[in-house]
Structure 1
């Protein structure tokens, strides 16, 4: 099994309400992928509640193999969801490991 963990930091926006709306839309979009991408075994998406920390969103996914993770990464449904934060993403950090 492969665990794929991603942290996203969004740019500052005109208001916290707008930022939260975008984060909720992204979370919902990611969570909807479970029923759309067969190689996706597990997904968990969190919105940071600790203002002391610098990242805004966490994504934890699990796959049977690295090849399955690559299939997920280029899947049209996944690509569509990534467009939600494309213009407001400041940075992204990731780690992938087998367990």
Structure 2
């Protein structure tokens, strides 16, 4: 995820940390999340600011997670500052 660079650095970091905390709290609320982690990029020369790594048993679980109200609320923390997004769903 790429955030909007018009934010001041400290504001941007606060939004990123708030998002990280909200997302990483979701397994308690959404039992079918097998693993979830939010990484915050420390290299400002790179394009992306946030990496979300998550694991689910099925694509149906991924789709249910996407619309789950608790996830929607957590994702909403980035609504006003998100400039871009990329996603890859894959199976192991």
Pairwise CA RMSD:
0.7
In structure 1, the partner of 2:64 is 71
- Report which of the two has the higher share of strand: 1
**What's the counterpart of residue 45 of structure 2?**
52
Is the 1:39–1:69 Cα contact (8 Å) retained in structure 2?
no
Unaligned runs of 5+ in 2: none
Task: Tell me the number of residue pairs that the alignment of Structure 1 and Structure 2 aligns.
Answer: 92
Kindly report structure 1 stretches of 4+ aligned residues shifted beyond 6 Å: none
Q: Does residue 31 of the first structure (1) align with residue 31 of the second (2)?
A: no
> For 2:47 and 2:90, how far apart are their aligned partners in 1?
23
Task: Judge conservation of contact 1:9–1:56 (CA < 8 Å) in 2.
Answer: yes
> 2:75 maps to what in 1?
82
Contact between 1:43 and 1:62, CA under 8 Å: does it hold in 2? Answer: yes
Q: Greater share of helix residues, 1 or 2?
A: 2
Extract unaligned runs of 5+ from structure 1: 1-7
TM-score normalised to the size of structure 1?
Answer: 0.90
